[in-house]
Homo-oligomer: A and B are copies of this chain.
Amino acid sequence: MNKEKLLDLYRMMVQIREFENECIELAKSNATRAAVHTYIGEEAIAAGVCAHMSNQDYITSTHRGHGHCIAKGADLEKMFAELLGREGGYCKGKGGSMHIADLATGNLGANGIVGGGIPLAVGAALGIQLDNKKNFVVSFFGDGAANEGSFHEALNMASIWSLPVIFVCENNEYGISTHVSKSTNIQNIAIRAMSYGIKGVVVDGNNILEVYEETRKAVDDVVSGQGPVLLEMKTYRMSGHYFGDNQNYRTKDEVNQWKEKDPILRCEQILQKEYDLTEEDLLTIRKNIRTEVLAASEKAKLQPEPMIEDLTGDLFDQKFADIEWKSFVKAQGKG
């Protein structure tokens, strides 16, 4: 990979990390209300996957969706504004942390329902296929979501129709408090691909180069009509399930061991060893990004709340589509 590319990926990861750090700050003062699920430790996945995507390629995301959203190119201020429930937020403050969609960048939305987005991704991929386009869809979801019925139905449907969709299972070892070894009886979730006759690949999700490369192969596959692919990204949720989680279900030791495999750290090591960047270079990048992120947060904080009159708006589109109905004369003797 050339240096600029890797630096882009690095910057993206840092941006996500800094966004999440700031979210935690906001959560501390209860500015975000309810749960904020941070993506800390998993940044390589969103960054490495979405680097292959254009705005015409779609994603579906999860309750832990900030990283996906940012990697797809979202505007940070609008994201913060949404988290803070401001009028200028992505959803005009109606959604909140778990429900940011951004159609302009191809983000079909975060989802508060575990597994809820997987069938949507299949539908978007079906739309692409019907339109004979060369785009594709990525559905992000967790190890826990892989035990929802929707996972099963969606992968099977995508397979029989050879739809252009990549299923990215972010196996961060936990569904809230439940370790993946307690919720499944298999070593790799990727093996579930066999149930649908599709390709399943285990990927080191904390290694940005591997994520990037394996996604590239999957994109080639799905776009060339070879059907969906299941990528299992092995990773770890370095923070709590949400800010405020007491984490009584795991040891500090375990967390610390994974912190050594922090994807950003590992990327920095590569950048230093193989691309001659100095620690100072990296620090500068991080500082600049942090400044940008904080600026976005500050600006968002200044935004007004939604207007109360807007409470009942946006439920239905009042317009009907412009379709002119044409009779269909059936062939004789049919029906």
Of the listed stretches A7-15, A169-177, A186-194, A213-221, chain B binds: A186-194
Complex alpha-carbon distance, A198 and B184, angstroms? 11
The reply on A182 being an interface residue by CB < 8 A is yes
The reply on A248 being an interface residue by CB < 8 A is no
The reply on A56 being an interface residue by CB < 8 A is no
The reply on A149 being an interface residue by CB < 8 A is yes
Residues of B within 8 A of A183 (CB): 156, 160
The reply on A251 being an interface residue by CB < 8 A is no
Partner of A160, one of B184, B192, B195, B197: B184
The reply on A147 being an interface residue by CB < 8 A is yes
The reply on A62 being an interface residue by CB < 8 A is no
Complex alpha-carbon distance, A149 and B115, angstroms? 11
Residues of B within 8 A of A38 (CB): none
The reply on A152 being an interface residue by CB < 8 A is yes
Residues of B within 8 A of A184 (CB): 156, 159-160, 196-197
Residues of B within 8 A of A281 (CB): none
List which A85-103 residues lie within 8 A (CB) of chain B.
Answer: none
| Pair B148/A153 contact, Cβ less than 8 Å | yes
Residues of B within 8 A of A195 (CB): 186, 191-192, 194-195
* Most B Cβ at <10 Å: residue of A149, A153, A185: A185
Residues of B within 8 A of A194 (CB): 186, 191-192, 194-195
Partner of A149, one of B152, B192, B197: B152
Which B residue sits closest to A154, measured CB to CB?
Answer: B149
Residues of B within 8 A of A147 (CB): 152-153, 156
| Pair B196/A186 contact, Cβ less than 8 Å | yes
Residues of B within 8 A of A186 (CB): 194-197
The reply on A243 being an interface residue by CB < 8 A is no
Partner of A197, one of B185, B197, B198: B185
List which A138-187 residues lie within 8 A (CB) of chain B.
Answer: 147-153, 156, 159-160, 182-186
Complex alpha-carbon distance, A160 and B180, angstroms? 11
Q: Please name 22 pairs of A and B residues whose Cβ atoms are closer than 8 Å in the assembled complex, sorted by A.
A: A147-B156, A148-B149, A148-B152, A148-B153, A149-B149, A149-B150, A149-B151, A149-B152, A151-B152, A156-B183, A156-B185, A160-B182, A160-B183, A184-B196, A185-B196, A185-B197, A185-B198, A185-B227, A186-B196, A191-B194, A194-B195, A195-B195
